[in-house]
Structure 1
Amino acid sequence: MGVVVRPVTRSDIPAVSRALAEAFDDDPVSSWMLPDAAKRPVGLARLFGAEIRYHHLAGGGAELAETPEGVIVGGALWDPPGRWKQSTLNSLLGFPAVARALGRHLRAGAGAVHALESAHPTEPHWYLAAIGTTAAGRGRGHGKALLNSRLARCDAEGSPAYLESSKKENIPYYERFGFEVTGEIALPDGGPTLWKMWRNPR
């Protein structure tokens, strides 16, 4: 299929951030945190850029999918066991970029983060914080390749994997990779529901 998956480098961050912003434009959590559809693409790209730069890149779990021509069409942001929570220092370093991304909706974003952290499993695992592809990359195996890349490592290490699905219709897709729903997380202040999904190694 011509699918290439490789680690994200610092120079890739803007393109990966834009790809994920496109992928999450209609996401219920994104729409709730950034209700202005016209401003959402820029806000999401800034948010993903901050998360990758100040957290995921250092953990070695940020991967991208690109065409043979080098066009980035998707990304997956994984955190290794014991490193899913952002450090205080990196939170402070990334705060200006996050505040710029969310603007007056910063409080909603903080509430979402607190809810997800409170419900996060304590058993060591690889955490899939975000995965998505652009419209151009959909239906061509890029998402599958991104998932299988890290899940193969999970299986080799004997490590479980965990994610939160923000769309109920995506649950069957993740189930095909061995994930199972273990609970629900309702975001505060009328926010949407997410589904906790866990995968034991194979």
Structure 2
Amino acid sequence: MAAASIIAPVLDSTMMIEKRSSTADRVAADPLSSQIRVVPPHEYEKAAACLVEAFKDDHVVRYSIDTPDRGHWSEEERYELHKQAMEYVTYAHCLKGLVTTVGPDYDAVALWLPPGKNIDDLLTICRSGIWRLSYKLSKEGKERFFKEFLPLLATTKAEVLGDRDDRSWYLNYIGTKVGSRGKGYARQLIEHVSAVADQAGQPCYLESSHDINVKIYGKMGFSLRKQIWLTRSEEEIRMDVMVREPIKTLEEKF
């Protein structure tokens, strides 16, 4: 669950739309896929609303917002900035990545970066509104987000995956609305993409900020590879880096 590195080149949106269609087609035989749909850019606010709710108290997501130099802000002001940041990132993934949802009202949402893709090009940063964080975050918030958080994620992913970095599926965020938890929605969203990754022999990668998630993701084939820490807050914040290796089919084994 973490924000992507947001500074590098990607393919244009037309090619990404083709990629979305290809992804959906390749898992059409999976009964889960009939319940899942790709979120188009014009629906980004509804998808983001799910993630805003799911991560409203997450200490990693709020790391750049809950800073000492914004101690005078009310919780309403902090929450509004959290909402805006999540909308920027969700829209960027709609433009250049893959955003999927399941449930009758965007009950669970996942933000993926397919192999070789990112949301770091100048056009996407401008169109999505991510550039606004450079002045909406406080001085300490910018230090945490741009100089600590993003570089740490990018460096760690490259170290863990090595030459497979550009051939992996990156799960940046996945969240479920409070009232929709326990229905298996998150599992459906992950398995929807991991089936494609298996077919292509590609790993899936994520960072998690909660102890219980190591066990939950472990049941979906992810294994803990590394632990990393954010160190600028009063207490260090740990993230668990996990990788799901592609599972071979019986045909591939024999």
TM-score clears 0.5: yes
Contact 2:96 2:119 in 1 (8 A): no
Larger radius of gyration: 2
Q: Say which of 62, 65, 72 aligns to 2:99.
A: 62
Query: Structure 2 counterpart of 1:109, which letter?
Result: F
Query: Structure 1 counterpart of 2:39, which letter?
Result: V
What residue is the counterpart of 1:141 in the other structure? 184
Secondary structure, counterpart of 1:130 in structure 2: strand
Contact 1:17 1:46 in 2 (8 A): no
* CA RMSD across the alignment: 2.3
Question: How many residue pairs get matched?
Answer: 197
What residue is the counterpart of 2:246 in the other structure? 201
What residue is the counterpart of 1:98 in the other structure? 133
Contact 2:125 2:131 in 1 (8 A): no
What residue is the counterpart of 2:121 in the other structure? 87
TM-score by length of 2: 0.70
C-alpha displacement of 1:160: 0.6
C-alpha displacement of 1:101: 5.7
**Structure 1 Cα separation of the partners of residues 78 and 37 of structure 2:** 27
Q: Deviations along 1:101-149, whole A, 9 cap, x unmatched?
A: 6455233221211211121134120000000011122111211111111
Q: 1:89 to 1:41 in 2, by over 3 A?
A: same
Moved more, 14-23 or 115-124: 115-124
Percent identical across equivalent pairs?
A: 25
What residue is the counterpart of 2:87 in the other structure? 49
Contact 2:95 2:124 in 1 (8 A): no
**Structure 1 Cα separation of the partners of residues 237 and 187 of structure 2:** 26
Q: 1:85 to 1:180 in 2, by over 3 A?
A: farther
Secondary structure, counterpart of 2:76 in structure 1: coil
Contact 1:84 1:127 in 2 (8 A): no
C-alpha displacement of 1:167: 1.1
C-alpha displacement of 1:193: 1.2
Q: Say which of 27, 30, 35 aligns to 1:4.
A: 35
Q: 1:154 to 1:40 in 2, by over 3 A?
A: farther
**Structure 2 Cα separation of the partners of residues 95 and 50 of structure 1:** 5
What residue is the counterpart of 1:116 in the other structure? 153
Moved more, 91-100 or 74-83: 91-100
* Structure 2: 5+ residue stretches without partners: 1-31, 67-73, 248-254
Query: Structure 2 counterpart of 1:87, which letter?
Result: D
1:26 equivalent in alignment to 2:40: no
**Structure 2 Cα separation of the partners of residues 84 and 185 of structure 1:** 21
**Structure 1 Cα separation of the partners of residues 180 and 208 of structure 2:** 20
What residue is the counterpart of 1:14 in the other structure? 45
Moved more, 39-48 or 146-155: 39-48
C-alpha displacement of 1:185: 1.4
**Structure 2 Cα separation of the partners of residues 95 and 178 of structure 1:** 32
Q: 1:98 to 1:201 in 2, by over 3 A?
A: same
Of Structure 1 and Structure 2, the greater strand share is in: 1
